[in-house]
Amino acid sequence: MSWTCAIGSWPRGPRADAGFVTVLSVVGARPQFIKAAVVSRALAEAGAREILVHTGQHYDVRMSDVFFRELGMCEPAHNLGIGSGSHAEQTGRMLAGLERVMRDVVPDRVLVYGDTNSTLAGALAAAKLALPVDHVEAGLRSFDRDMPEELNRVLTDRLADQLFCPTHTAVVNLGQEGLTEGVLFTGDVMLDLALEAGAHARHIALPAGLCENEYFVATIHRASNTDDAAQLCRVVKALDEVARTVAPVVLPVHPRLLHALERNAVGVSAIRTIEPVGYLEMQGLILRSRGVITDSGGVQKEALFHGKRCVTLRTSTEWVESVNAGMNVLIGDDLSDLADEAAKCDGSVALDPNLLALFGGGTAAYRIAEAITGRGPTRRRWTNGGIS
C-alpha cells in the first residue's frame, strides 16, 4: 500500500450518527499543511465538519499542491491566492479574504496553526467576528522580537480561546504571560506524522551519489538569512566549507532562497542543490543523513524526532527541548564554527522515549480533536502512554 493510500484511508467527513461542529481551518504554508494533515483526520474521526481555507501564502506547486496530494488531504474548499508581498500587504489581503469566507460559512470555531502571516490573519479575522479561535502550537517563544514569527505567535495567543501547546515549556511560557484559561498541553502534531511516516520514508531512494549517513541535509529560508546579501553569502560560504571538508551537503532550494541567490548573484560551488521536495522525501533525506543544518523551526524538530543531530543557523529557538537534549546547537551569527559543529554530527542517535513524551508521544492530533469537538475518535484512543 502506498503512503498516499494509507493516509487516504482515513475518514473523510462527519459520522452520520453524530451532531458535528463546523471547524474552519486556515493554512497557507508548508509546515501548516503537514500539521493539518493529521489534525484533519482526527477531526473527521471525532465527527467534525471541516472547511479548509488555503490563503495561498505558499503558492508554488512544489511548496503547496504536492503536500496535499502526498498527504492525502482533501483539496481546500477555498483558496484565496494571496501570494507574496510585504508582511503588511500579505496580512491585509488575507484579512479581507478570510473575513469574507468566515461571514459566508459562519463556523463554530476557527483553527489556526503555527506562526505565519496566515496564522495571525486567521486569528484576527475570526476574533473581530466574535468567532472562537483555536491555536495549534500555542505558547512557543524564541524571545526574539526581530523574528516576524515571534510577533505572530504572541498576538495569536492573545486572540485565541483554546491554546494547544506542543510542549510543557509552552504551557509555562503562557502562564508567565498571564494566559492560563483555555491552555492545554496536547503534544506536537508533527511528531504524530513523523512517527507514522518513518517506516515509509526510509525506503525513499536517495538522490544519485548520496550514501546513507554520509551527507548533511540543509535548508535555508528565513528572512534573516536570505534577505541580507552579506549574510546570505556567509551562509553559503559556510555550507560550502562543510561540503568540502566534512561531508556532502544536499540543499533543497526553497523559492525564497532561489530568488535571493539570483537577486544577489550568489553562486554555490560544493553544495549540491536540488528542487524542493515533498514531505515524505524530506523525511527520507533527514532519516538517512549524517545530520541536519537548518534555520527552520519545523526541520529542527524533524531532525530530533528521527534521532539526528542538528546545527541551527539562528541565535535563538522556540524548541529549547532539542537544545537541552544535546541534539541541537545554535550556531549564532558567527558561522566560522559551522564545519566544526557539523563534524560532531555522526548519524543516528538513540532517543530516550521520555524525550518524545515531552512532545506528546504521537497523540497530539487526537487530543486537539477531542478538545475542539468534545468527543474522542471512534477507532483510536489516546492515553498518556500513546494510542491504543
* DSSP state for residue 349 in the 8-state scheme: -
Q: Is beta strand 162-165 parallel, antiparallel or unpaired with respect to 109-113?
A: unpaired
Cα–Cα–Cα angle for 39, 43, 47, rounded to 5 degrees: 170
Q: What positions carry a catalytic annotation? A: 221
* DSSP state for residue 186 in the 8-state scheme: -
Q: Is 162 helix (H, G, I), strand (E, B) or coil?
A: strand
d(C-alpha 208, C-alpha 286), whole Å: 16
d(C-alpha 367, C-alpha 43), whole Å: 10
Q: Which residues contact 160 (CB under 8 A, 6 or more apart)?
A: 112, 123, 133, 134, 135, 138, 182
First to last CA, the chain: 22
CA dihedral angle for residue 316, residue 319, residue 320, residue 325, rounded to 10 degrees: -130
**Nearest residue to 33 (alpha-carbon basis) of 55, 9, 15:** 55
Q: Is 196 helix (H, G, I), strand (E, B) or coil?
A: helix
CA 117 to centroid of chain Cα atoms: 14
DSSP letters spanning 73-105: PPPPSEE-------HHHHHHHHHHHHHHHHHHH
DSSP letters spanning 121-151: HHHHHHHHTT--EEEETTT-----TTSHHHH
**Nearest residue to 146 (alpha-carbon basis) of 358, 386, 314, 339:** 314
Residue 200 cell numbers, joined? 515509509
